[in-house]
Chains A and B, each alone.
Chain A
Amino acid sequence: MTAVTPEIVADHGLSPDEYALILEHLGRAPNLLELGIFSVMWSEHCSYKSSRLHLARLPTEAPWVIQGPGENAGAVAIGTDPEGNPLAAVFKMESHNHPSFIEPYQGAATGVGGILRDVFTMGARPVALLDALSFGAPDHPRTRHLVRGVVAGIGGYGNCVGVPTVGGEVRFHPSYNGNILVNAMCVGVARADRLFRSAAAGVGNPVVYVGSATGRDGIHGATMASAEFDASSEEKRPTVQVGDPFLEKLLIEACLELMATDAVIAIQDMGAAGLTSSSVEMASKGGVGIRLDLERVPARETGMTPYEFMLSESQERMLMVLKPGREAEAEAIFRKWGLAFAVIGEITSTGRLQLFFHGEQVANLPLGPLSEGAPKYDRPWVRTPPPPPLADAPASADLLRDLVQLMGSPDLASRRWVWEQYDHMVGADTVVRPGGDAAVVRVHGTRMALALTADCTPRYCAADPVAGGAQAVAEAWRNLTAAGATPLAITDCMNFAAPTDPVVMGQFVGCIEGMRAACLALDFPVVSGNVSLYNETEGRKIQPTPSIGGVGLLADWAEAATPAFKAAGETIWLVGETRGHLGQSLWLRECRGREDGPPPPVDLAAERAAGDWVRRMIAERRVTAVHDLSDGGLLVALAEMALGGGIGAAIALPEGAATAMAFGEDQGRYLATTPAGTELPPCPVPLVRLGETGGAALAVEGHGAIPLEALRAAHERFFPALMGSAAKAMG
């Protein structure tokens, strides 16, 4: 085998210090295969070496949490099925940023495939997908190509697998010009007493490989995903995996069929770093050893080497440990679904990863240094200085003209063009479709429903990471609340630039601090997540983007609230305090071209008080429509409710500077409607009566009126205009 040189070590993304540590652990030089295994296990993607120290500060526990971080996905209790069996919602969000920038269709598609596997590996049937997408400026030459490819890839995979894509978010900002973000979230439902985990057990038990055969695709994807981009990144296209959603669908059905028996001891999907990380994680979590005979691995190509078998990231593959003697039963299920099935090794008592190829030992590594013993860095970081307050009081010359501009702006325009390419109804349990605050998906066969959302405001995080981290969690909580759900827990997908820069590391630490505070204040723990670092190209860094995926529970799907106005003549209420905070607002950015000022402060006690009150109003059926206030502030939220219901409104702004009242992005606020004459019970936060619904225009006292059709035209124009012209350009 090739001798390991300093160049080869560097090519594997390992620092000289890390290589010295490997020599120390082994007491000898690794061979090339062993070096490859260390390189993927110690990559940022697999080891979380820069982030582990800080992630540990996030709250992960609550009485309803069944599984916190550390498994393939988190799980929370959600009541029982009609037979009285306990149920769990199983979910996680994960990034597929670098592959999606290089090859948008396959990168996004395999991101969806990977997160689906994380969820059904736990024994859960996937019931919903969401995607949080960040693209560069709309007029950047690559943006349209990337949007088209990513959306088609997400749809191509999710639609075929038959899991509805019900929500997510799409944003545009020049900081993502060279490094887009594709964060995919999957939610599944499982019997809470039948969750599957990855810890291997039982010396001598068979290690079984199922799913697709292994090819040479995606070798070193995890290392690639842990490096900064440069101009040669497109040459890395062969490291992007190719997805086969049809095979994934078969794998879901076969795995769930096998999991309904009691033959499976442990199961792990082969995601980043493929056979290497799955075998190492299963054995190390179980405190055992593992032996694999690599010539038994089903191969797509002839002549594959042990190095290629271990580092391939071919998709749609799983590794399982079965109870002894159950191989034939398991094999019959996989054969029925037309899938590969092979016993490729066994559990040992050695505490080592031992690899054989045609009887010859080709690697022999202790498991400890590969997993818990991986490097853990306390990287230097500096706190982001708080931005000075706005020096002036910018004012709009025409509130309603600015409203039209905002409603048609890239970050607020209708996403219909995106979600109509996703089958958001398959499963026939989607109660609230995309486009509102949270999607609502019925728990099949019950009256219960899950509310789902994905949120982050990166411009807040960039200006003040602590406030931004808290705001992302609070907005997810607010969106679930606005749907009438009780928020249960979150998954986080932490997208940042290179952690070797103390400024970036400071953003990471700050966001974690804010998230922690919000999770604690809102009883909203983190149960799973993922970290994606080095999101920068030639030194241009993304805005810090901690995507938050929130899951909430409704006891009865029929209690779900939606933002659309329901009838004319209803009273419109504003819940929460409006101070008129314009710093970092979309109005300032879109209508004034400024990205300055501090983000809105997050008062977590007020957030909680407002949300708990709104949720009670929904449960008591006192309110007819509910919408959270976020990007764009009061008038944008009002316009969205009006367009949703096709019913106009006439309101007066709260007292104060009109522009700040109209477009300020103060947190912890909702709009709600009630039938005329309804009195609401005392509210713990300010409650203002704004006006009433009706007509075909939005009228703001003292500022005129704008027909809904003008707002709708602006709102619906952006995406078709952007992408239609792309289609022409592509011929």
Chain B
Amino acid sequence: MKTGVVVFPGSNCDRDLMVALELVTGVRPVALWHADPEIPAGLDLVALPGGFSHGDYLRSGAIAARAPVMRAVATHAARGGLVLGICNGFQVLTEAGLLPGALIRNAGLDFLCRDVALEVVTADSPFTRAYAAGATITVPIAHHDGNYQADAATLDRLEQEGQVAFRYAEDVNGSARRIAGILNEGRNVLGMMPHPERCVEEAHGNQDGRRLFEGLLKVLA
């Protein structure tokens, strides 16, 4: 399985994501520089890491969404290639129009870093297939702008089409319908605020995130 991790100025979970991907796939991901308009051919997965791309100035993810590399990421997605955006990566995907809705300031206004319980809403995607639908997993969050919002029609459609991938077991940041992660219509693009790369090995004290990467491996092996 060939993977690439985009590095924007201000990305700060790029290394953690590369470590997690290498741990599970056995192959070191390629670093993709934000200013490059091309990505290497033959990548199975392009991942957008957490962090504060461009300092989150203007709006979280807004500047990164217009980086040259994002045209290549959109092309990759349109061809059915897998795209995973975590935290700031999710924000970039919504700003780039690859996923609907927006992530606004947490309802409590404070940055929040803690373990949260997540419901796996659907196992019908390359990212969630190694989980059981309805299962509860524990994954850390670390964000200031994780409050997912979209208009009611969009939210209804996401629910009806099974595009809600993860839901917070309890309200943590004000997200509409407690949405923590969503899929696109083609189910090949996933954006999620929680950090699965922070719970993949024994030292993390919890390995619930590991199955997300293992599921991808099964799809692509």
Q: Which residues of A contact B (CB under 8 A)?
A: 152, 155-156, 159-162, 244-247, 249-250, 337-338, 419-429, 431, 442, 557-558, 727
B113 surroundings in chain A (CB, below 8 A):
159, 419-425
Q: Is B80 an interface residue, CB under 8 A from the partner?
A: no
Chain A, Cβ-Cβ closest to B114: A420
Please determine whether A338 and B9 come into contact, CB atoms closer than 8 angstroms. yes
- Interface residues in B180-214 by Cβ distance below 8 A to A read 195, 197-198, 202-205
Please determine whether B110 and A428 come into contact, CB atoms closer than 8 angstroms. no
Q: Is B55 an interface residue, CB under 8 A from the partner?
A: yes
In the complex, A426→B10 CA distance in Å?
13
Q: Is B67 an interface residue, CB under 8 A from the partner?
A: no
Please determine whether A250 and B10 come into contact, CB atoms closer than 8 angstroms. yes
Please determine whether A426 and B142 come into contact, CB atoms closer than 8 angstroms. yes
In the complex, A557→B19 CA distance in Å?
18
From B109, B203, B205, contact of A429 by CB (8 A): B203
How distant is B11 from chain A, measured CB to nearest CB, in Å?
Answer: 8
How distant is B31 from chain A, measured CB to nearest CB, in Å?
Answer: 12
In the complex, A427→B49 CA distance in Å?
12
Are A249 and B110 CB-contacts (below 8 A) given A426-B16, A428-B16? Answer: no
Chain B, Cβ-Cβ closest to A445: B19
In the complex, A422→B51 CA distance in Å?
13
Are A159 and B52 CB-contacts (below 8 A) given A246-B57, A420-B113, A428-B19? Answer: yes
From A155, A162, A421, A442, contact of B51 by CB (8 A): A162
From B16, B52, B112, contact of A249 by CB (8 A): B52
How distant is B81 from chain A, measured CB to nearest CB, in Å?
Answer: 25
In the complex, A162→B12 CA distance in Å?
5
How distant is B77 from chain A, measured CB to nearest CB, in Å?
Answer: 26
Are A425 and B140 CB-contacts (below 8 A) given A420-B114, A557-B203? Answer: yes
Q: Is B71 an interface residue, CB under 8 A from the partner?
A: no
B1-36 near A? 1/0 per residue, CB < 8 Å: 000000001101101100110000000000000000
Instruction: Pick the most buried of A424, A426, A431: most chain B CB atoms within 10 A of its CB.
Output: A426
In the complex, A593→B203 CA distance in Å?
44
A424 surroundings in chain B (CB, below 8 A):
113
Please determine whether A160 and B197 come into contact, CB atoms closer than 8 angstroms. no
B46-62 near A? 1/0 per residue, CB < 8 Å: 00001110111100000
B114 surroundings in chain A (CB, below 8 A):
420
Are A427 and B10 CB-contacts (below 8 A) given A245-B52, A245-B55? Answer: no
Are A246 and B9 CB-contacts (below 8 A) given A160-B55, A422-B113? Answer: yes
Please determine whether B204 and A428 come into contact, CB atoms closer than 8 angstroms. yes
Question: Could you pull out 7 A-B pairs where Cβ atoms are within 8 angstroms?
Answer: A246-B56, A420-B110, A422-B113, A423-B111, A425-B142, A426-B13, A558-B202
How distant is A730 from chain B, measured CB to nearest CB, in Å?
Answer: 10
Please determine whether B195 and A425 come into contact, CB atoms closer than 8 angstroms. yes
Q: Lowest 8 A-B CB distances belong to which pairs?
A: A162-B12, A246-B55, A428-B16, A160-B52, A423-B142, A421-B111, A423-B113, A155-B111
In the complex, A431→B12 CA distance in Å?
19
Are A246 and B52 CB-contacts (below 8 A) given A162-B12, A425-B195? Answer: yes
In the complex, A249→B8 CA distance in Å?
11
Chain A, Cβ-Cβ closest to B12: A162
B54 surroundings in chain A (CB, below 8 A):
246
B110 surroundings in chain A (CB, below 8 A):
152, 420-421
In the complex, A121→B195 CA distance in Å?
30
- Additional 15 contacts, C-beta under 8 A, given A159-B52, A425-B142: A156-B111, A161-B12, A246-B52, A246-B56, A249-B10, A249-B52, A419-B113, A425-B198, A426-B13, A426-B50, A427-B15, A428-B19, A431-B203, A431-B205, A558-B202
Please determine whether A159 and B203 come into contact, CB atoms closer than 8 angstroms. no
How distant is A554 from chain B, measured CB to nearest CB, in Å?
Answer: 12
Chain B interface size, under 10 / 10 to 19 / 20 to 34 / 35 or more: 20 to 34
Chain B, Cβ-Cβ closest to A431: B203
In the complex, A443→B216 CA distance in Å?
29
Chain B, Cβ-Cβ closest to A252: B12
In the complex, A249→B11 CA distance in Å?
9
How distant is A113 from chain B, measured CB to nearest CB, in Å?
Answer: 13
Chain A, Cβ-Cβ closest to B140: A425
B195 surroundings in chain A (CB, below 8 A):
425
A155 surroundings in chain B (CB, below 8 A):
111
Are A427 and B55 CB-contacts (below 8 A) given A160-B10, A420-B112? Answer: no
Please determine whether A159 and B111 come into contact, CB atoms closer than 8 angstroms. yes
Please determine whether B142 and A249 come into contact, CB atoms closer than 8 angstroms. no
How distant is B21 from chain A, measured CB to nearest CB, in Å?
Answer: 12
In the complex, A228→B73 CA distance in Å?
56
A337 surroundings in chain B (CB, below 8 A):
9
How distant is B109 from chain A, measured CB to nearest CB, in Å?
Answer: 8
From A159, A246, A429, A442, contact of B142 by CB (8 A): A159
Are A428 and B111 CB-contacts (below 8 A) given A162-B12, A246-B54? Answer: no
How distant is B23 from chain A, measured CB to nearest CB, in Å?
Answer: 10
In the complex, A247→B57 CA distance in Å?
11
Instruction: Pick the most buried of B19, B109, B142: most chain A CB atoms within 10 A of its CB.
Output: B142
How distant is B5 from chain A, measured CB to nearest CB, in Å?
Answer: 14
In the complex, A431→B56 CA distance in Å?
28
In the complex, A423→B113 CA distance in Å?
5
How distant is B65 from chain A, measured CB to nearest CB, in Å?
Answer: 16
A244 surroundings in chain B (CB, below 8 A):
55
In the complex, A160→B56 CA distance in Å?
9
In the complex, A159→B195 CA distance in Å?
14
Instruction: Pick the most buried of A421, A423, A727: most chain B CB atoms within 10 A of its CB.
Output: A423
Chain A, Cβ-Cβ closest to B54: A246
Please determine whether A428 and B197 come into contact, CB atoms closer than 8 angstroms. yes
Please determine whether A246 and B10 come into contact, CB atoms closer than 8 angstroms. yes
Please determine whether A250 and B9 come into contact, CB atoms closer than 8 angstroms. yes
How distant is A28 from chain B, measured CB to nearest CB, in Å?
Answer: 47
In the complex, A244→B142 CA distance in Å?
20
B13 surroundings in chain A (CB, below 8 A):
162, 426
In the complex, A431→B52 CA distance in Å?
23
Chain B, Cβ-Cβ closest to A249: B10
In the complex, A33→B54 CA distance in Å?
37
B16 surroundings in chain A (CB, below 8 A):
426-428
In the complex, A198→B142 CA distance in Å?
36
Please determine whether A428 and B198 come into contact, CB atoms closer than 8 angstroms. yes
Chain B, Cβ-Cβ closest to A160: B52
A557 surroundings in chain B (CB, below 8 A):
203
How distant is B63 from chain A, measured CB to nearest CB, in Å?
Answer: 10
